[in-house]
């Protein structure tokens, strides 16, 4: 739930240029795949100072497509961005419907037809079994565009379009392909067209501040905003949105240049009140911070994981360049593997159980030793749905970060959620523990800032 980003405050900042996002495709609508284009486009629009007023997902029915375009026009948006429906099959209708909506005739663009044919040539030679005539006719369909539209060169095989209305009254429509990679690349081209810039003329240029906190519940931020208002921090010129993401709280603030001092005051208030929890003042993620701490040192890390079974190693290598500091990991699912690979003493498992702080510490030390790393991360827990006991219910996870000699920071938590929630959240906890060890503030930080996760809700 967002906090403070309500409409009254938003409007007091300015009357922003609004846009609508229309995602098409039965497979998106029916939940077979989940849409990533809507949120991505929304973020890009916001960066341009354009408010995404709505995202609408409809199937491949012409009536629904047209109704959605008209609804957005009625809502007063200056721009509509569509994704999908540019393919070669009969149910790919977006270009045609948008042409109708904009009051523009559909015409064959011969140059474009040749350009698409050129793109398809190597593809056709690699798939000798394909039906060449079907492909040629599909090619032609993709080259039929609304007259007067700006054509965006294909990234895959489908061209994009920027379609201004024929009468100037309706919104301009930007037509982009559905595959995210194609959409991302084509978006840049679309933004730089005259038709696009004309449509968003007058958009306020905003600044953005993003900070991240770890170790408090989201509800506490609502209290902090109230307290800031009571302390006369000038919040009225800031549009603040908070969100819980992978166990962290992200506070995003949008403001005009003139509100820079207000944002600085808000940031100071936040930093003062949540000293131990505010880990990022520049929007950097814990992953980026860990990467930067490791890149800035000669330290290396390794992991030994049970319940997360490789997710921690995978997360540590998500960023390119991680091979400079990540040496490797041990996935020790069975007790035998914990002993033989990570060197955990069988008597520890016997005495404390495989899910215990003691075994987590032995895993962390074992990872550092076996991989020859400066630091090891150990994770062992019960991801469920089975395997829980009264003493160690599902969600119990033990973590440790160690050097080759000794455990440096160890925690036992109970995490909420499903098997996959618990596994994912565990990697967030481990990243924060690693960050703390790397920053060297283990002694200074109170343990409660980690223990708080116990009651956190996803």
**CA–CA separation, 340 vs 349, rounded Å?**
13
Shortest Cβ distance from residue 71 to a second copy (Å)? 5
Joined together, the tokens standing for residue 252 give 């995003």
Choice between 75 and 110, CB closer to a second copy:
75
**Three-state DSSP class for 200?**
coil
Give the H or E element holding residue 291: helix 286-295
As measured in angstroms, the least distance from the Cβ of 194 to a second copy is 26
Taking the least distance from each CB to a second copy, the nearer of 85 and 159 is 85
**Residue whose CB is less far from a second copy, 3 or 400:** 3
Q: Which is nearer to a second copy, 371 or 401 (CB)?
A: 371
Residue (438 or 453) nearer to a second copy, CB: 453
User: In whole angstroms, what is the distance from residue 343 CA to residue 363 CA?
Assistant: 8
Nearer to a second copy, 258 or 323 (CB): 323
In the complex, least distance from residue 148 CB atom to a second copy, rounded to whole angstroms: 26
What pairs with residue 419 in β-bridges? none
Residues 50 and 42: beta-carbon distance below 8 Å: no
DSSP code at position 389 = -
CA distance 164 to 172: 4
Q: How far, in Å, CA of 197 to CA of 172, rounded? A: 10
Residue 353, token pair as written in the block: 């159980």
C-beta atoms surrounding 267 within 10 Å: 17
Q: Which is nearer to a second copy, 85 or 164 (CB)?
A: 85
Minimum distance from CB of 223 to a second copy (Å)?
Answer: 5
- Burial of 441 by CB count in 10 Å (0-12 exposed, 13-18 middle, 19+ buried)? exposed
CA 281 to CA 396: how far, in whole Å?
Answer: 31
Shortest Cβ distance from residue 70 to a second copy (Å)? 9
435/146 Cα distance (integer angstroms): 54
SS3 assignment, position 133 = helix
260 token code pair? 């820079």
* In the complex, minimum distance from the CB of residue 3 to a second copy, in angstroms, rounded to a whole number: 5
Nearer to a second copy, 195 or 450 (CB): 450
Minimum CB–partner distance for residue 295 and a second copy (Å): 14
Q: b/e for 44-74, b at 16 or more Cβ within 10 A?
A: bbbebbbbbbbbbbbebeeebbbebbeebbe
229 by DSSP, 3-state: which? helix
Supply the minimum distance, in Å, between the C-beta of residue 34 and a second copy.
Answer: 5
- Where residue 358 falls (left for φ over 0; alpha for ψ -120 to 50; beta otherwise) is alpha
Q: Closest separation between CB of residue 101 and a second copy, Å?
A: 16
Least distance to a second copy, CB of residue 319, Å: 9
Taking the C-alpha atoms of residue 319 and residue 311, their distance in angstroms, rounded to an integer, is 14
CB proximity list for 336: less than 8 A, separation 6 or greater:
none
In the complex, the smallest distance separating the C-beta of residue 104 from a second copy, rounded to whole angstroms, is 23
The residue written with tokens 């490797």 in the block is 328
Q: How far is the CB of 252 from a second copy (least distance, A)?
A: 6
Q: Which is nearer to a second copy, 158 or 195 (CB)?
A: 158
As a whole number of Å, the CA-based R_g of the chain is: 27
Cα separations (Å) of 198 from 55, 79, 174, 194? 22, 10, 12, 6
Q: Are strands 79-83 and 144-146 parallel, antiparallel or unpaired?
A: unpaired
Nearest to a second copy of 67, 108 (CB atom) = 67
Nearer CB in complex with a second copy: 164/384: 384
Which CB, 31 or 168, lies closer to a second copy? Answer: 31
């Amino acid at each position: 739930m967002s906090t403070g980003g309500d409409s009254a405050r938003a409007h007091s900042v300015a009357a922003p240029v609004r846009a609508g996002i229309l995602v098409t495709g039965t497979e998106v609508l029916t939940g077979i795949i989940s849409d990533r284009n809507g949120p991505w486009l929304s973020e890009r629009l916001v960066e341009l100072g354009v408010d995404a007023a709505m995202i609408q997902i409809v199937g491949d029915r012409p009536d629904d497509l047209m109704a959605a375009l008209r609804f957005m026009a009625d809502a007063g948006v200056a721009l509509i961005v569509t994704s999908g429906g540019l393919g070669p099959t009969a149910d790919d209708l977006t270009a045609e419907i948008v042409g109708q909506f904009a009051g523009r005739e559909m015409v064959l663009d011969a140059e474009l037809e040749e350009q698409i044919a050129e793109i398809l040539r190597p593809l056709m030679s690699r798939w000798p079994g394909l039906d060449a005539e079907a492909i040629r006719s599909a090619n032609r369909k993709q080259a039929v565009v609304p007259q007067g539209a700006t054509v965006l060169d294909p990234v895959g095989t489908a061209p994009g379009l920027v379609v201004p209305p024929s009468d100037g009254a309706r919104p301009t429509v930007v037509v982009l392909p559905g595959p995210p990679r194609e959409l991302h690349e084509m978006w840049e081209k679309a933004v730089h067209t005259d038709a696009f810039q004309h449509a968003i003329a007058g958009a306020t240029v905003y600044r953005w501040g993003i900070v991240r906190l770890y170790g408090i519940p989201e509800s506490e931020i609502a209290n902090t905003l109230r307290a800031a208002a009571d302390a006369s921090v000038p919040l009225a010129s800031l549009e603040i949105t908070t969100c819980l993401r992978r166990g962290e709280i992200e506070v995003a603030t949008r403001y005009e240049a003139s509100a820079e001092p207000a944002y600085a005051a808000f940031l100071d208030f936040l930093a003062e009140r949540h000293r131990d929890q505010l880990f990022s003042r520049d929007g950097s993620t814990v992953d980026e911070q860990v990467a930067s701490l490791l890149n800035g040192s000669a330290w290396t890390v390794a992991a030994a994981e049970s319940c997360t079974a490789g997710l921690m190693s995978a997360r540590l290598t998500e960023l390119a360049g991680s091979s400079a500091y990540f040496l490797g990991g041990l996935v020790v699912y069975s007790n035998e593997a914990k002993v033989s690979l990570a060197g955990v003493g069988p008597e520890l498992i016997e005495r404390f159980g495989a899910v215990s702080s003691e075994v987590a510490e032995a895993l962390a030390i074992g990872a550092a030793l076996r991989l020859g790393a400066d630091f090891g991360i150990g994770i062992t827990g019960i991801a469920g749905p089975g395997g829980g006991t009264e003493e160690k219910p599902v969600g119990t996870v033990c973590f440790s970060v160690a050097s080759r000699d000794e455990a440096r920071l160890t925690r036992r938590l109970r995490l909420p959620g499903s098997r996959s929630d618990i596994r994912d959240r565990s990697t967030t906890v481990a990243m924060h523990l690693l960050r703390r060890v790397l920053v060297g503030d283990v002694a200074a930080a109170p343990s409660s800032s980690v223990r708080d996760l116990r009651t956190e809700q996803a």
